[in-house]
Structure 1
């Protein structure tokens, strides 16, 4: 598994205008049952910008935070504010104005979009008349939303110089609008299902 991941992360992708793009950075979730394996894989890959992360569902926590050193292997672990990540993702899904929009491959199937919209903000309780909101998973699988958040976290950790890359890019999350229903996602035309990562 790790050898396959390592090989994939060296892949380069060719755009329609002929540019060849490498994978600039990668975040690997250290939660679940694979924590030590993730630490072992990422500990010597800082030069390749492959980082171990740990999601923290805490209101107000920034998308990316300073890393701490963990474990016997002394691995750099980046805490990720998953609430802020989801706010950013859903604000963009609900935005039709460029440049703050998502661009999806026509090869993505319906399952991808179901997983991308697998969470919603709900009122957990009221405290002194103020609503306390919480992100709730509403579908069994949510890997696509998770990976969207991981990609966003990688951008924040990488902190690229957008002006040198050809334009200004607003990466700050917009204020959420919890009173509104979850945004409707426009799906691409149906066709023969293909792998989510089959970018062409």
Structure 2
């Protein structure tokens, strides 16, 4: 009781008390956004259509026993992002048809509101399950568009993705030295980046219509993202735990069993890093805007705002049947 009383008024002291005296984990309050609040923030745009500020696409693929789940994200300046599509490819890594559908996805196009067709710049796929099958498929379609990734614990904010390293791969029963290229992803870093983005305040509809941009990193979710997907997206929380030596460390723990949406987001974010988005120059961003007919203007005196030419007709949309 004396130790508890002495700890009052200091979060760090209370953490230490819970970790070392009570043997409990300390939950960082507010780290897991309420999925229902995210549901209220969903926006309306056609499924499969890329909004005006989305300048390139990446995808994250999570391999499960009976399926491969894929989320496609659009990215803009300041790493503002939009969920464009969600697909569940039934069959799993033992089914050749499943891999063929994933291959077909690499050539699929999504339509920007300017009318331009966009393909996936980079797809990151997890190698944690059926590693050999993932390597074989990646080698078949080519590493230019596909990045096999391996998630590791810990935080590395300066370089959350490292690689690629050349690893041995078994293809059709034959062992190939340096047969695959593997990227290592500090998944905790991207989760820690994502959750504050979900929590930050946004401009009102009137402000947006007046040309005021959203804060950097804003995550836009469409109204067809259902409750199950939102629950998966917020399925983990950041907690402080005690190591065997008694030191405190932060780690992400599941609130529920299924967290595929969060994993796919992390892989898609890693794909954006691998594509170089975190290091692109202003010239590169301007080139992407030129290709998509995004023209700079100055609404309300804001010299940094940009808008795309809106199409005069409704564009074709692509929707996953999983979202209903």
TM-score by length of 2: 0.48
Higher strand share: 2
Residue in 2 that maps onto 1:163: 285
Residue in 2 that maps onto 1:53: 149
Aligned residue for 2:253, secondary structure, equals: strand
Q: Is the 8 A contact 1:108 1:195 kept in 2?
A: no
Decide which of 113, 130, 134 is 1:38's aligned counterpart. 134
Residue in 1 that maps onto 2:200: 95
In the aligned structure 1, how far is the partner of 2:245 from the partner of 2:151? 29
Residue in 1 that maps onto 2:104: 7
Equivalences for 1:168-183 in 2 at 5 Å? none
In the aligned structure 2, how far is the partner of 1:57 from the partner of 1:128? 18
- Alpha-carbon deviations, 1:135-182, whole Å to 9, x = none? 101111000000000000000001043523349xxxxxxxxxxxxxxx
Give the superposition deviation at 1:128. 9.7
Cα RMSD, aligned residues only: 2.5
In the aligned structure 2, how far is the partner of 1:41 from the partner of 1:88? 30
1:109 aligns with 2:226: yes
Aligned residue for 1:43, secondary structure, equals: helix
Aligned residue for 1:100, secondary structure, equals: coil
Q: Is the 8 A contact 1:69 1:75 kept in 2?
A: yes
Aligned residue for 2:217, secondary structure, equals: coil
Distance 1:126 1:51, change over 3 A: closer
Distance 1:46 1:121, change over 3 A: same
Q: Is the 8 A contact 2:126 2:148 kept in 1?
A: yes
Give the superposition deviation at 1:15. 2.4
What residue ranges of structure 1 are gaps of 5+ in the alignment?
Answer: 168-192
Q: Is the 8 A contact 2:240 2:250 kept in 1?
A: yes
Give the superposition deviation at 1:105. 1.7
What residue ranges of structure 2 are gaps of 5+ in the alignment?
Answer: 1-97, 169-174, 203-213, 295-319
Give the superposition deviation at 1:127. 9.5
In the aligned structure 1, how far is the partner of 2:107 from the partner of 2:269? 20
In the aligned structure 1, how far is the partner of 2:269 from the partner of 2:160? 8
- Alpha-carbon deviations, 1:26-62, whole Å to 9, x = none? 0011102x10000001124123x10111000123363
In the aligned structure 1, how far is the partner of 2:181 from the partner of 2:246? 41
Give the superposition deviation at 1:130. 6.8
Decide which of 236, 251, 254 is 1:119's aligned counterpart. 236
Higher helix share: 2
Distance 1:126 1:6, change over 3 A: closer
- Alpha-carbon deviations, 1:47-103, whole Å to 9, x = none? 3x1011100012336321121111143200000011101011112111224232111
Distance 1:128 1:79, change over 3 A: closer
Residue in 2 that maps onto 1:81: 186
Distance 1:43 1:194, change over 3 A: closer
Equivalent pairs, count: 170
TM-score by length of 1: 0.76
Residue in 2 that maps onto 1:64: 161
Aligned residue for 1:46, secondary structure, equals: coil
Q: After TM superposition, where is structure 1 displaced by more than 3 Å over at least 4 residues in a row? A: 126-131
